[in-house]
Amino acid sequence: MRTTNRRNFLRAGAAASIAGAIAPALAMPSGAADDKASASGPAAQGVTRTLARYIVGARYEDLPANVRKEGTRTLLNWIGVAVGGSHHETVDRAVAALAPFSGPAQASLLGRRDRFDIMNAAFVNGVSSHIFDFDDTHLKTIIHPAGPVASAILALSEYHPVSGKDFLNALVLGIETECRIGNAVYPNHYDVGWHITGTAGVFGAAAAAGKLLGLSEQQMVWALGLAASQPVGLRESFGSMNKSFNPGRAASNGLFAALLASKNYTSSEGMIEAKRGWANTISTKQDYRQITEGLGQRYEAALNTYKPFACGIVIHPAIDAAIQLRNENRLTADQIARIDLKVHPLVLELTGKKTPQIGLEGKFSVYHSVAVAIIEGAAGEKQYSDRAVRDPQVIALRDRVSAIVDPSVKPEQVDMTITLKDGRTLHKHIEHAIGSVEVPMTDQQLEAKFTDLADAVLPAAQVRKLIETCWQVERLPNAAAIAKAGVLQK
């Protein structure tokens, strides 16, 4: 099984050259213990520098094959969601606000004709990619890794030519940076109210952009320090356009930090771990080993996941069960007498809306989600439109869905029984939904998701070519080809 292989690879995988290069920094004595440092983090010195040294030294050739593959899948998924979101009114308003102030037309806005300077382009593409809450997820931290990182380097790649290999390496290193920093402070940092994608994401964007700019180790320390000075986003903004703002601004802030550092604009040493540094200021938990241990040996970037369904992850098991039973039995709605679910308590707490009236409310209804998945065989953005939640056939089936809480059902599980009008019953137990680490989306499923999102924006032939360009990233002589393939032609 594919996931088993991947796990073995992760455990066995070791990039000797990188490990050797960073060993001196990791061996750095902890010295005077920080009086606020976490009990779990023995060393509060040299964290920023160790990370910077790793980023500066890490080569594409050091990446294990599974990490390259997952990085490529991350890129594909991100381009798809960014193109898909690119004509939402959120993006229209951002573009209207910034157009009078943009610099030279250096970089593409995915899915659009406009071109902005690289920092404004990074912002807009970051916004587009988070519109549908349909981007990638690092499950250990709930960081959406690609938004800040890919937005920054996609724009930069159009100004500062780099190979596809270097682009992919920077993408992985940026994701590694943000997810490791996220691990160091999660969950406390998230629980108190920070939108961790925006706060940790700035580091990822700075690291990836700094890597492509060829920063020295010292410059990378400064870039990370300037990134630490610009955290973005509060959870309170969720439900407004401000949520998509956060990965976009994390991208442009990180790029800003890297560009300043490239001209020797300084910051302090140890901005992540110092007494009054980022981690102590912004979190009550600081586990610095999450940042420095196993660099080049274990990859958070290999743990990235992609949502198959355009709604909160808590109802993904139910949708997965519905689609599997539908496809295995060629079910139609008129065959079904009733659908009974046994769910984890969170499902009804968060998505217990019985009669959603608009598309967005459908995302908070396990009843709608199951019904529309049975009828349409999918739960993408189209299945959460106003059209979908008002479809009489969907409503009729929705009213036949029942859900009860079963304390033995785990959050990643569901138990579904469909009773047919002819008296038969169909049963499905989901242990891990599609899109989880355990049951990842296949490449084909990622392509289908991409196409479903992008075909409303770009011509079908261009969508196909864009998908191919993403898959071929490692062979591109100039990574700017990705951005150029993703825009509306004049």
Q: Which of residues 243-262 bind its own copies (CB under 8 A)?
A: 243, 245-246, 249, 256, 259-260, 262
Could you say whether residue 228 binds its own copies (CB under 8 A)?
A: yes
Please check whether residue 84 is in contact with residue 456, taking contact to mean a CB–CB distance below 8 angstroms: yes
| Residue 374 and residue 322 in contact, taking contact as beta carbons nearer than 8 Å | yes
What's the min distance (Å) between Cβ of 96 and its own copies?
5
In the complex, least distance from residue 113 CB atom to its own copies, rounded to whole angstroms: 18
Q: Which is nearer to its own copies, 100 or 423 (CB)?
A: 100
Residue 348 found at the interface with its own copies (CB under 8 A): no
The residue from 147, 277, 296, 440 that contacts its own copies (CB under 8 A) is 277
Task: Indicate the SS3 state at residue 353.
Answer: coil
Task: Report if residue 39 touches its own copies, rule: CB under 8 A.
Answer: no
Window 357-416: residues binding its own copies (CB under 8 A): 363-364, 410-412
CB of 452 to its own copies, least distance (A): 19
Question: Could you say which of 133, 136, 158, 287 contacts its own copies (CB under 8 A)?
Answer: 133
Tokens at 265, concatenated:
């604009």
Cβ atoms of residues 81 and 207 within 8 Å: no
Sign of the Cα pseudo-torsion (102, 104, 108, 111, in order):
positive
In whole angstroms, the minimum distance from the beta carbon of 207 to its own copies comes to: 17
192 is a contact residue toward its own copies (CB under 8 A): yes
Residue in 171, 314, 323, 463 binding its own copies, rule: CB under 8 A: 314
Q: How far is the CB of 115 from its own copies (least distance, A)?
A: 13
Interface residues for its own copies in 91-110 (CB under 8 A)?
93-94, 96-98, 100-104, 106
Query: Which CB sits closer to its own copies, 244 or 462?
Result: 244
Cα–Cα separations (whole angstroms), residue 408 to 344, 345, 353:
8, 10, 22
* Interface residue with its own copies, options 45, 50, 66, 137 (CB under 8 A): 137
State the minimum distance, in angstroms, from the CB of residue 395 to its own copies.
22
Min CB(97)–its own copies separation in Å: 4
Q: How far is CA 260 from CA 54, 210, 220, 254, 278, in A?
A: 20, 10, 11, 10, 19
Cβ at position 462, least distance to its own copies in Å? 28
Q: Which of residues 456-485 bind its own copies (CB under 8 A)?
A: none
> How far is the C-alpha of 383 from the C-alpha of 434, rounded, in Å?
17
Amino acid making up residue 136: D
Asked if 237 touches its own copies (CB under 8 A), the answer is: yes
Quick one: which of 124, 179, 184, 271 contacts its own copies (CB under 8 A)?
A: 271
CB of 168 to its own copies, least distance (A): 24
Nearer to its own copies, 117 or 391 (CB): 117
CA distance 467 to 483: 12
Task: Name the packing angle between helices 65-85 and 164-185 (round to 10°).
Answer: 90
Stretch that binds its own copies, among 56-64, 145-153, 169-177, 346-354 (CB under 8 A): 346-354
Q: Is 435 left (phi over 0), alpha (psi -120 to 50) or beta?
A: left
As a whole number of angstroms, the distance between CA 115 and CA 95 comes to 10
Tally the residues of the chain.
490
Q: Does 291 bind its own copies (CB under 8 A)?
A: no
Place of tokens 């300084």: 266
CB of 327 to its own copies, least distance (A): 24
Which residue type, as a one-letter code, is found at position 75?
L
Q: Provide the token pair at 356.
A: 């959603």
The DSSP-derived string for 279-299 is HHHH-S---THHHHTTTTTS-
CB closer to its own copies out of 81 and 228: 228
Q: Which two tokens stand for residue 287?
A: 């586990």
* Contact predicate 417/427, CB 8 Å: yes
Question: Per 3-state DSSP, what percentage of the chain is helix, strand, and coil (rounded to 5)?
Answer: 55, 10, 35
Window of 60-68, 76-84, 190-198, 448-456 that interacts with its own copies by CB under 8 A: 190-198
Q: Which is nearer to its own copies, 159 or 471 (CB)?
A: 159
**CA–CA distance, 270 with 339 (Å, rounded to integer):** 56
Judged by CB under 8 A, the stretch of 164-172, 277-285, 287-295, 334-342 that binds its own copies is 277-285
Binding flag, residue 184, its own copies (CB under 8 A) = no
3-class DSSP state of 228: helix
> Which regions of 118-249 does DSSP assign to beta strands (E)?
136-137
- If residue 333 lies in a helix (H) or strand (E), which one and from where to where? none
Smallest gap from Cβ 201 to its own copies, in A, equals 13
Q: Which of residues 33, 40, 42, 276 is near its own copies by CB under 8 A?
A: 276
Site for its own copies contains 90 (CB under 8 A): yes
